[in-house]
Amino acid sequence: MLFNYLKTSILMAAIMAIFGAIGATMGGAQGMLLALLLGGGMNIFSYWFSDTMVLKMYNAQQVDESNSPYLYNMVKELAEKARLPMPRVYIINEAQPNAFATGRNPEHAAVAATTGILNMLTARELRGVMAHELAHVKHRDILISTVSATMAGAISMLANFAMFFGGRGSNGERANPIAILAMMFLAPLAASLIQMAISRGREFEADRGGAEISGDPRALADALAKIDAYARGIPMRTAEAHPETAQMMIMNPLSGGGLRGMFSTHPSTEERIARLHAMTM
């Protein structure tokens, strides 16, 4: 728990540094100060409201026992088994099979599943997936995941402002256009690298934790194989428009050809499946 709070603090500090660098490129010392103030405000906002922001971004609809008993009762049973508070449950109207968890702590958590994953997986496989998402909640890594998604989007936006509006250095001269171009590309890349460092290891841990919660490692392995086989051929519009949220999903939702692997926030599906199968031996 303390380690995840430390990682979140380091992430927020890194994001502040990126904001400061972009501000300095746009407007020297004054630009850096304004960017740091903006970054500080965004850090506070993202801590309290990033989960709501992401759920609205995906037009997720909250469900309960009355309108979605199948999913709701499955999550309730798994949450009780994991000794977690009951999270809010959402459904996203997307054909791509995928799911994610969000929130700042187990008391303020939510899990979301697409209609695609609900239609594609068997009950046993879906149970493995939702157990994986609850493992993220139990490990308390949902905060850093959601904050990084929100802040990476803000960094990309700020870098684009640097490109389109230019700025002036501390001596009043127009900022170097090459520096602005470099910042436009390097700032989002830096945010993506932060996300990659966070995400790869935590997916293995969530797979392991999910298998323990569900008591069925092979079910999650089967679900991952099925999701991987279909997700690549079914685009997810919101994820493509907001790629910073891709690292929250159980499977990378982005289409990207060769670059997909280079900038992937997830370990290889084959390795994840192999580790799950090893748990059954």
For 68, the token pair is 């979605």
Please, which residues have CB within 8 angstroms of residue 13's CB and are 6 or more apart in sequence? none
Helix (H) or strand (E) holding 113: strand 109-114
Integer Cα distance of 133 and 84 in angstroms: 12
Please, which residues have CB within 8 angstroms of residue 129's CB and are 6 or more apart in sequence? 99, 113, 117, 121, 210, 220, 223, 227, 250
Active-site option among 94, 125, 133, 244: 133
Please, which residues have CB within 8 angstroms of residue 24's CB and are 6 or more apart in sequence? 31, 32, 35
Helix (H) or strand (E) holding 159: helix 142-165
Side-chain-facing half-sphere of 107: CA atoms under 13 Å: 1
Helix (H) or strand (E) holding 6: helix 2-57
173 is catalytic: no
SS3 61: strand
| Active site amino acids | 133
